[in-house]
Chain A
Amino acid sequence: MPIEVADINKHFGKLHVLRDCSLSIRDGETITLLGASGCGKTTLLRCIAGFETPSSGKVVLGGEDVTRLPPNQRGVGFVFQNYALFPHMTVAENLAYGLRVRRADRSTRKAKVEEALALVSLTEFADRYPQSLSGGQQQRVAIARALVLRPKVLLLDEAFNALDAKLRVAMQIELRKIVKQVGITTICVTHDQTEALTISDRIAVMSKGQIDQFATPTEIYDTPTTAYVADFIGAANVLPAELAAKLPSLGARGSREDRMIVIRPENLTVRPTKGSEPLAGTIAFARITGPSVEYEVEAAERKLRVLVSRADHDMLDIGTPVALDVDKADACVAVSGSVEGSA
């Protein structure tokens, strides 16, 4: 079911938490609201779920304006950060809870619960209490509890937070498969960029209550529209335009004064130099990351990150004077805004 979020604003007292947030999500799409803590992503999700009412704006699910509807009338499945499984009910009872509310008869309940448990491969845990399951199993119960009601939309709030790193990736892939199998429109909230890249068709990067950019993972990485987005997804060197113009291969591209230039570390190059170069610096730190080497170069009172392949490059010592340049001028993007404490 397609979702339309139109110009949502939310105030908590004097705090303006959401500013004109708009999203239009296609049927069956999986999107992620990505941002640092306090950027409003969870509030936006709760507005879509109905746990919060926006101060202004609309939430439209499949053509129906649900802005004023309570959560239980929206046909939305919600997976909470710590799963919120009912500790006094078994796994099967947890799954059956929503069906009971809908007055499904016993045999329907049984069939649907079994089907949902099979979907998340937890059939043999039906009669256990949630506390006795592992984190990953609990999460699958939470997802099954939402899916058993055949919601039109699935919402997940930081659903992978409580899992350890290895299990997290496995569960993200698992979720992606389940969601595609059921074909349900899904919105996730996370502050973890790799999670967003793994599970999403499109990512909405949020900062300070606004949606900075809403695009596919590739677009977000290759053509960020703001310095914040560039910095948040992957590492980025964000330089003022007049400084970037000193890079020989980049030249005067996008040198309008009010703009910033984003250069990915893998797009910067270094070579040892003796003479005076337009943009020179010294190697401050070097570390090997498997196939490539990462330098921290001090230049123009900044620290720049450079990532070069070791295959065609002799490693440089700390303190070596270097000249900086870019590989592909096309891959450098002009953005608006600035980044505090730029990497």
Chain B
Amino acid sequence: MAASLVDKVMKGGGFWPAAPAFLYLVVFFIMPMAVLLAFGFVPIQRGTVQSANFTLEYLFDVLTDDLFWRVWWRSFYVGVLSTFFCFLFAYPLAYIHTLVGRRLQMVILILTVAPLLTSALVRTYAWLVILGGRRGVVNAVLMDLGLVSRPLRMLYSDFAVIVGMVQIHLPFMILPLITVLSSRDRKLEHASLGLGASRVRTFFRIVLPMSMPGIIAGTTIVFALSYTNFIIPQLLGGGGYTTVAVQVYEFIVVILDWNKGAILALLLLVSCFLFVLMITLAGNRMMRWTEAKA
């Protein structure tokens, strides 16, 4: 019996080879997540479940709280703006990557991937040093050049958080864009120019719509990462800067209110799924042509 099960996993077709990974995910990812989310619907005190009575009280509390909506709004616009700026910086770079010679392509690719070799936490700390107080790199340069007389207050603001998010998530936008742009058919651009279109028009009517699969992939990843990021707002936003992710941490680790923490985590997860779904659906509408049979 046991031997035949091993056999199925090792050699069998269909679902069987995926069974170990699936089991691992269920036990160590889905079950803990389900337990955590369930905590939002039963009374808990000091880390123990008080009774098995299902209640929507905590969900209701959170949704009627103005504070929650303010915090959610911040998570949302930080996510949207980070994604937007990532796209704005990544697209030209990915486009240039396809125009330059092999050696420069390597340089761009290495510079894009290299930051991923250091931990995001370390890079976030690096931004503290760059943007921070009077002795921060930016302020020191600006003051030495005599451009400002007093150090600018850059840290602990939306600006610092978004700068950090954009830099740290940029590779996830650049890589899918490079993939889709470098596999494009240049003949289509020649055709467009030949039909009388300007370079600008060719870019917006041909290159951009055809890179939609990469745009959707990059946007989805970067938005999901930025919207739910906890470290960057925590460090670069400072003490009073809360996003939904930061609040989850505070409720569960600091205040020990697991009920609200669980509800917030649930709301963050579900809303993130919804946004990703919306981006994908909107993208699919613009990519109906990819479904036409070859």
The residues of A with any CB-CB pair to B shorter than 8 Å are 49-51, 70-72, 76-78, 80-82, 84-89, 97-98, 101-102, 128-132, 145, 149
**Quick check: is B70 within 8 A (CB to CB) of the other chain?**
no
CB-based contact A76/B294 at 8 Å: no
Measured between C-beta atoms, what is the minimum distance from A98 to chain B in Å?
A: 4
Q: A78-B191, A82-B187, A88-B209 are in contact. Are A72 and B196 (CB under 8 A)?
A: yes
Contact A131 B191 (CB under 8 A): no
Residues of A within 8 A of B195 (CB): 72, 97-98, 101, 145, 149
* Residue B161 at the chain A interface, CB threshold 8 Å: no
Q: Apart from A50-B194, A70-B193, what 12 extra A-B contacts exist at CB < 8 Å?
A: A49-B194, A51-B190, A72-B194, A72-B196, A81-B187, A85-B191, A86-B191, A87-B210, A87-B290, A97-B195, A102-B196, A129-B292
Q: Which residues of the other chain, B, contact A84 by a CB distance below 8 angstroms?
A: 185, 187-188, 190-191
**B19 at the binding interface (Cβ < 8 Å):** no
CB of A71 within 8 A of CB of B197, answer no
Which one of B185, B193, B209, B287 contacts A72 once the chains associate, using CB atoms below 8 Å? B193
CB contacts (< 8 Å) of B205 on chain A: these are 97
Q: How far is the CB of A108 from chain B (nearest CB, A)?
A: 15
Residues of A within 8 A of B30 (CB): none
Known A-B contacts A51-B190, A84-B190; A72 and B289 likewise in contact (beta carbons under 8 Å): no
B192 within 8 A of A: yes
Q: Quick one: closest B residue to A155, CB to CB?
A: B194
A87–B289 contact, CB under 8 A? Answer: yes
B100: chain A residues within 8 A (beta carbon): none
- Distance in angstroms from A122 CB to nearest chain B CB is 16
Interface contact B294-A131, CB-CB below 8 Å: yes
**Smallest CB gap from A148: residue in B:** B195
Contacts A129-B292, A132-B292, A132-B293; A98 near B196 (Cβ below 8 A): yes
B201 at interface, CB cutoff 8 A: yes
A78 to B190: give the CA distance in the assembly, Å.
Answer: 10
Q: How far, in angstroms, from A86 to B201 measured CA to CA in the complex?
A: 14
Contact call A88/B289, Cβ cutoff below 8 A = yes
- Against A, the Cβ 8 Å flags (1 = close, 0 = not) of B189-218 are 011111111100100011001101000000
A50 CB contacts on chain B under 8 angstroms: 194
12 pairs across A/B with beta carbons < 8 Å?
Answer: A50-B194, A51-B193, A71-B190, A71-B194, A72-B195, A76-B194, A80-B190, A85-B191, A86-B206, A97-B195, A129-B289, A131-B294
What's the least CB distance linking A86 to chain B, in Å?
6
Interface set, chain B 198-249, CB cutoff 8 A to A: 198, 201, 205-206, 209-210, 212
Cα–Cα distance between A130 and B201 once the two chains are bound (Å):
21
Greatest chain B CB density within 10 A among A50, A131, A145 is at A131
Give bound CA distance, A128 to B288, whole Å.
Answer: 12
Using Cβ atoms and an 8 Å threshold, which residues of chain A touch B212?
88
Q: Which of B188, B190, B193, B194 has most chain A Cβ within 10 Å? A: B194
Q: How far is the CA of A342 from the CA of B3 in the complex (A)?
A: 70
Q: How far is the CA of A59 from the CA of B193 in the complex (A)?
A: 19
Closest to A51 in B: B190
A132 to B191, CA, bound (A): 20
**Which residues from chain B contact A70 at a C-beta distance below 8 Å?**
193
> Which 5 residue pairs spanning A and B have beta carbons closest together?
A129-B292, A98-B195, A84-B191, A84-B187, A72-B196
Picked from A51, A78, A85, A131, the residue with its CB within 8 Å of the CB of B293 is A131
| Complex contact A88–B210 (CB within 8 A) | yes
Q: Is the CB of B201 within 8 A of A101?
A: yes
Contact (Cβ within 8 A) A101 B289: no
CB pair B194 A51 closer than 8 Å: yes
B192 touches A89 (CB 8 A): no
Q: Is the CB of A72 within 8 A of B292?
A: no
